[in-house]
Chains A and B, each alone.
Chain A
Amino acid sequence: MRYKEKKLLNAKTKSNLVGWAFALPAVIGFLFLNLVPMLLSGYYSFCDYNIIRKPVWSGFNNYISLFKGTDTTFWLSVKATLLYTVMAVPANLIFSFAIALLLNRDMVGRAFFRSLFYLPCILPAVASSFVWILLMNPDFGLFNVILDFLHLPESKFFWDKSSVLPSIVFMGIWSTGSTQVIFLAGLQNIPRVYYEALEIDGGNAWHKFWSVTLPMVSSTLFFNLVIGIIGALQVFGAAYIITEGGPNNASLFYVFNLWRQAFKYMDMGKASAMAWVLFVVVLLATLVVFKTSNKWVYNEGGDQ
C-alpha cells in the first residue's frame, strides 16, 4: 500500500499538496478577510451606498465630495490626524530611544525596568484611558495638583481644543514599550569593539553616540519610524473612548471619522472612499520614508 502510494504521487506533487494543505486556512483567510474586502471596498468607494439600499454606481462622487469639502469633517479629520502624527511620531521615537539608551547601560535590574516600562502596552486601552481621564481631570485630577505644586499653570487637558492633542500624545508616550524593546534589541546588537576602538582614539561619550550608536541603530530607527507613522495615521482609540472627536473637532481622528461615517451614519460608500484615501496615504508615506532612507540609514553589509 505504502509502496503503491509512493509510486502514484511523485515526491514533488506530494510536497506541493502537503504545502497547500498546511497553508490552506491562512490562504483562505487572506482571500476572504483581506483580498475580497479590499476589492469590495474599492468598488463601494465608487458607489452611493447607504446600508439600507443596494450600492449604486456613482463614479468619483464620493471622492469629489470628500476633497471638495462638501462634508467639512473630512478635512478637519485630516488636519487632526496629521497634527497628531507630526507630534506623536517624534515624541514616541525620542522618548523610547532615550529609555532604550538608559536600559542599555551597565545596570542592576535591567530586566525588571524593561518589563516595567513595557507593562502599559499590555493593558486594555479602555481601562487605561479611564485612568487617564481621571488623572487629567481639570478639577480633581492628579496632574493639575502636580502642576500647582510646581507653580505651573493648570491645564484643561482633553477638554480644551489646544491641549487635547498634546494630552493624547503624552498618554501615548506612556505605552511605547514595544518601541523601546525594539530599540534596545538594536542597541545590544552593536559590537563592543566599535566603542573600544573609539576609546583608544580618545573619543568621548558624545563621539561614541554620534559616530557609533546613531549610525548602528539607524536601521532600527527607520523601522520604528515606518511602524510609528503607519500607527499614528490610524489612531482611533483615544477619540472613541475619551474625546469623541472633540472639543471642537480638535481630535476628530481620520479613522474615528471613518468609523462614524460607516457605523453611525451608515454611509458605506463614503467610508470606503475614505478608507482608500487612507490606504494610499499610508502607502505613500511608507514609500517616501523608504526612498529617503538610503540617505540616512547605515547598512553594515552595504546594500541589503
Chain B
Amino acid sequence: MVVRKNTAYYIKRTLFYLLIGLLAFVCVIPLYWMVRSAFMKNTDIYVMDPFIFWPSKMLWSNFTSAWNSAPFTKYAFNTIVIVAANILGTLLTSSMAAYAFSRVKWKGRGFCFGMILITMMLPGAVTIVPQFLIWRNLHMVDTYVPLILPAFLGGGAFNIFLLRQFFLAIPNDLDEAAEIDGAGKLRIFLQIILPLSKSAMIVVALFTFLGNWNDFFGPIIYLNSKDKFTLAVGLLQFQGDYATKWNLLMAASTIVVAPCILIYLIGQRYLIEGISLTGMKA
C-alpha cells in the first residue's frame, strides 16, 4: 500500500516537473530564436526544411555589421545619458517625497499623497498631448529635457509609493533617538533613513533603468533628429531601413536586450521583492 502510494507520488511529481519544464522551455523560445537568428546567415533564416536549430557556423560578424550599419554607438551613449539622469533624479526626489509622506508631519500631507496616488490610475494618454504642447511652447521638443526633467519632479507615483511603504517599516524610535541627540530632519533622512533603505533604493534604480532603457513612447514623441535617438528608437528605425536583413536585426536586438538581462540577473531578487511589496509594477 505504502509502495503504491509512493509510485503515484513520484509519477505526479515527474508530471509536475515536466509541465513546469515545458512552460519554462516555451518561455525561453523567443530569446533562443533571437540569439539563434542573430548568428545565422540571412538566407538560412528563410530555410524551414530542413529545420535549423542552431547555425553550423556562428557568424559573430553579424553583431559588428549590425552595430555599424546605424549610429548605434551614438544611440547607446544617448540612452546611457537619459537613463543615468533619470536614475539620479528619481532616487533623489522620490525618496525625498517618500520621506515627507512617511516621517514628517505637515499640513496637506494626506491630500498631496492622495493626489499623487491618483495619478497612478490616470491613463498616460490623457496627459501626453498637453504635456507635449507645454514642452513645445517652452521650445524643449527635440531636447532631452522632457525625457529627464520629470524624474527630478518626484520620479513617478509608483516609486514614491514603494519607498514610502519601505520607510514606514523603519522603526520610529530611531528618528526619536536621533532627534534627542539634536539631529534635524535632513540629517535623519540622510544618515538614518537612506542608509537603511538601500534595497528599496536599488529596486527603484532598477525599475528606472529598465523603464527608460526600454521606453520608446517618450522618445518617439519628443525626439526628431536622428542623432538624438535612443537605442529603442534606433532599433525601430533600423527595422524600417533593413526590413529583410533578419540576422542583423536580431543581432541588434540581442545587443539592446543584453544589458537588461544582465541587470535583471544581478538585481532580480530585489525586483521581485519590490513587486510583492507594492503589489504592482512600474
Which A residues are within 8 Å of any B CB, using their own CB? Answer: 15-23, 25-30, 32-38, 40-41, 44, 51, 99, 102-103, 105, 107, 113-128, 130-132, 134-135, 139-140, 142, 144-145, 174, 178, 181-182, 184-185, 220, 223, 227, 230, 233-234, 236-237, 240-241, 255, 258-259, 262-263, 268, 271-272, 275-276, 278-279, 282, 286
Contact = CB atoms under 8 A, between A and B. Distances in A.
9 contacts: A26-B94, A26-B112, A29-B154, A33-B127, A124-B235, A126-B235, A130-B250, A278-B123, A278-B126
Q: What range describes how many residues of B lie at the interface?
A: 35 or more
Please list the 6 inter-chain residue pairs (A to B) with the smallest Cβ-Cβ separation, ordered nearest first: A19-B106, A29-B153, A26-B154, A26-B97, A22-B100, A29-B154
B132 interface: yes
B127 A38 contact: yes
Given A38-B122, A255-B123, A262-B129, 10 more contacts: A19-B104, A23-B96, A25-B96, A124-B216, A124-B231, A140-B47, A144-B48, A223-B279, A255-B125, A258-B125
A178 B280 contact: yes
A131 B247 CA distance: 11
A143 B127 CA distance: 39
A128 to B, nearest CB: 7
Interface of B: 16-17, 19-20, 23-24, 27-31, 33-34, 37, 45-48, 51, 92-94, 96-97, 99-101, 104-109, 112, 115-116, 119, 121-134, 150, 152-155, 160, 185-186, 189, 210, 213-214, 216-217, 220-221, 231-233, 235-236, 239, 246, 249-250, 253-254, 256-257, 260-261, 263-264, 268, 271-272, 275-276, 279-281
Contact of B150 (A29, A139, A184, A237): A29
Contact of A279 (B97, B99, B126, B134): B126
B217 A272 contact: no
A118 B274 CA distance: 13
B216 A126 contact: yes
Contacts of B256: 124, 126-127
A262 B253 CA distance: 29
A256 to B, nearest CB: 10
B28 A116 contact: yes
A41 B126 contact: yes
A126 B256 CA distance: 10
A40 B133 contact: yes
Nearest to B232: A126
A19 B185 CA distance: 9
Contacts of A30: 112, 115-116, 119, 154
A130 B253 contact: yes
B129 A44 contact: yes
Given A40-B133, A275-B125, A135 B152 contact: no
